[in-house]
Amino acid sequence: MNSFHDDLVRGSLRFGLLRPFPVQDPLDRHLGDAVVAELEALLACRVDPDDIDRSGRMPPGVIDDLRYGGFLSLRAPVTLGGRDLTEFNAFRAVTAAASIAPPIALTMAIANGLGAPAYLSVLPPGPLRDFLAGRIADGAVSGTADTEPGGAANSTRGTVAVPDGDAYVLHGEKVFAGNGTIADLLAVSASVRDDGDAVRLFFVDTSDPGVEVHAAHQFTGFRGAPNAAVRLSGVRVPRERMVPAATSWRESQGLVGLAAAARLLVIAAPSLAIARQCLEWGRRFAARRSVDGHGLGEYELVRELLDTAEAEVYGIESLVRWAVLGARRADTGRERAAAKNLTSMACWRVVDGTMSLLAAEGYESAASKGRRGADPVPLDRAFRDARGLRIAGGVDFQVDNWAGQAILARHREGPGMPGGGGLSGVPSCCAGYLAGTAEAARELADTAAWLGARVSGDARRGQKALMLLGRVAGELTAVPIALARGLDGDGHDLAERYARVASERAERHLRLLRAERAALAANPSGG
C-alpha cells in the first residue's frame, strides 16, 4: 500500500497522495457527536478536575460510569457492551474527555488503545479472542504492563514466562502499568524461556494468585491516573492467553500497528485538547489585558504568539485526520508513529508560549488565582500534563532516534515512488513551501543513504544524527499534510502559517544534521 511518509524520506514528495484531503463521513460524524455529547455530560456532572488534581484520586464510581457506559470499549461491538465507534470518533471521545479531566482521558485511552478491546481487531479467531470478548462483555477494565524497573527500551524483559504443561508461569515486576490500580485484566510482556527468550504478551487476570498491585504511582502531571507497580510471583497463565506472533511482539506487524494507533489516543488526543485550551486561555487573557491603553492583542509579538499557537493546533488536527481518515487510501503507519512527537511537542510549545503570555498569572496556580478573583485557568496543571506527554510512549529524543533507524530500514528496501502530482491550483506561497519540502526531502534521503553505510549495526554510533534525521522527517511530513487540508477544505491561512513555522524548524534541524554528518565524516572510527 502507498505510504506518503516512506516515499518522502526516500526523497520523493507525493503531494497528490494527500489530495483530496480526507474528511469524516457526515453520518459517522453525527454518530460521534452523540457519543461525545453523552460523555461530556457525564463528566461535567461527575468529575471535578481540580479535586482530582489536588487529591490524586478519581471520584468514587466514575470508573463504573465509564465501564458500563461503554467508554472503556469505544470500538468494541455493541453486543459486547461497547459503542462500536470508528477510530476517528474514538479519538474525538478521548479528546473530549481530556478537555475536562486529562487523567480520565488517559484511563480511557489505555483501556481502548492498549487494553483488551484493542486486540479484537488484530487477533485471529480462537480461544484468546473468545476469552477477551467474554471479559469485555463482562465489563472488565483492562490495562497494560510492559515497563520494568530497568526501563522500557530493552529488547528483552526481566519478567519471564516459564512453560509448565498447559500454562506459563510468570515471574517479574512491572512499573507504570497503565490502569494498574483498577484493571481486572492486564496485557503483560514477558520473555518466554522455551522460545529463545522472545518477548510475548500474556493476558493476566489481576485476581489470579500471585498478582500483587503493590504501589500506586503519582506523577507530576495527570494526577489521579490509575498507574501502578505490579509484582508477578508465580502467576499461572493458560497457554491460550498468550498473544500468538511469528516474531517478537515489537516486530509483529499487527501489534506494531496497534501500538501506533494507541499512541494517537494516549498522546495525540490529550495533546490536542490541552493545546486548544491554552489557545483559548491566551485569547481571553489578551482580550482583557492592556498596556498603556492599548489592548494586549494589538501588540505584534502577542499576535504572533497567538497566531502560532492557532497554527500548531491546526497542525495537530491535520496530522491526526490524515493518519486516521487517510488510512483508507494509504499506509499511514509511519505518520501515526511520527504523531507521538509531533503532537506532544506542538502541545508543549503552545503551553509554554501561553505560560509566557500570561506571565506571573500563568505561573500562579489555579487555586491561587481563584482566591483573588482572577480567571482561574489551570495552566499550571496543563504545563505539568503536557510535559508528561513528551515522556509517555517513549521519551522525545529516543522516539526521534527510533524514527531515524526506521528511515535507514526504508532505504534498504529501495527507492520511493516517483514524486509530483496534486499541485493543480496550488497558490505560489504554498508551492514555495512544497518546493522547499521536496528539496529538503532529497537532502534527507541522501543523508540517510550516507548514514546507512556507516552507522548500521552499532546502536550506539550516530545516535545524534539519527535523532536529527527522525526529527527533520517528522517536520517535513507535517508540512504537506497541513497544506493539503488547507487547499482542499478549511483554514488555508492557518495551513500556510503552520507550513512556515514547521519549515523553519525543519531547516534548523537540517543544519544541525549537516554539521553532525560532517563530524562523522571527519571521525569515521568514532573514537
472-499: per-residue pLDDT in tens? 999 999 999 999 999 998 888 999 999 9
- Looking from the CA of 28 toward its CB, the CA atoms found within 13 Å total 13
Report the CATH architecture of 142-241.
Beta Barrel (2.40)
What pLDDT score does 121 carry? 87
pLDDT category at 412 given cuts 50, 70, 90 is confident
pLDDT value at position 180?
97
Q: Is the pLDDT of residue 26 over 70?
A: yes
- pLDDT at residue 525 in the model: 72
- Evaluated on CA atoms 166, 171, 177, 182, the torsion sign reads positive
Which of these, 204, 323, 200, 176, lies nearest to 250 by C-alpha position? 200
Top mean-pLDDT range of 97-111, 358-372, 428-442: 97-111
**All three cell numbers of 333:** 503507519
Lowest mean pLDDT among 95-104, 168-177, 332-341, 357-366: 357-366
Q: How many CB atoms lie within 10 A of CB 55?
A: 12
Reported in sequence order, the residue ranges of 224-345 that DSSP labels E, i.e. its strands, are 228-238, 290-291, 294-295
Single out the residue of 426, 447, 435, 442 nearest to residue 495, CA to CA: 426
| 261-271 tens-digit pLDDT | 999 999 999 99
Least confident span in 43-52, 140-149, 305-314, 426-435 = 426-435
What is the predicted pLDDT for the residue at 197?
Answer: 78
Whether the pLDDT of residue 231 is over 70: the answer is yes
Which segment of 212-221, 412-421, 428-437 scores lowest on mean pLDDT?
412-421
- The verdict on pTM exceeding 0.85 is yes
Question: What's the pLDDT score for residue 455?
Answer: 78
**Mean pLDDT value of segment 303-313:** 98
State the average pLDDT over residues 80-87: 97
Q: Residue 203, SS3?
A: strand
Q: Is the pLDDT reported for residue 423 higher than 90? A: no
- In this predicted model, which residue has the larger pLDDT, 454 or 143? 143
Question: Region 332-358: what's the mean pLDDT?
Answer: 97
> What pLDDT, on a 0 to 100 scale, did the predictor assign at position 252?
65
pLDDT at res. 462: 87
For residue 192, the surrounding DSSP H or E stretch is: strand 185-192
pLDDT value at 249 more than 70: no
pLDDT tens digits, 63-83 = 999 999 999 999 999 999 999
Q: Is the pLDDT assigned to residue 154 strictly greater than 90?
A: no
Region 213-234: mean pLDDT is 96
Spell out the domain ranges in the chain. Answer: 26-137, 142-241, 395-527
Q: What is the pLDDT of residue 246?
A: 56
CATH of domain 26-137: 1.10.540.10
> Helices 333-363 & 253-263, crossing angle to 10 degrees?
20
pLDDT of residue 253: 64
Of 455, 290, 266, give the one whose Cα is nearest residue 344.
266
Distance CA 376, CA 141 (A): 34
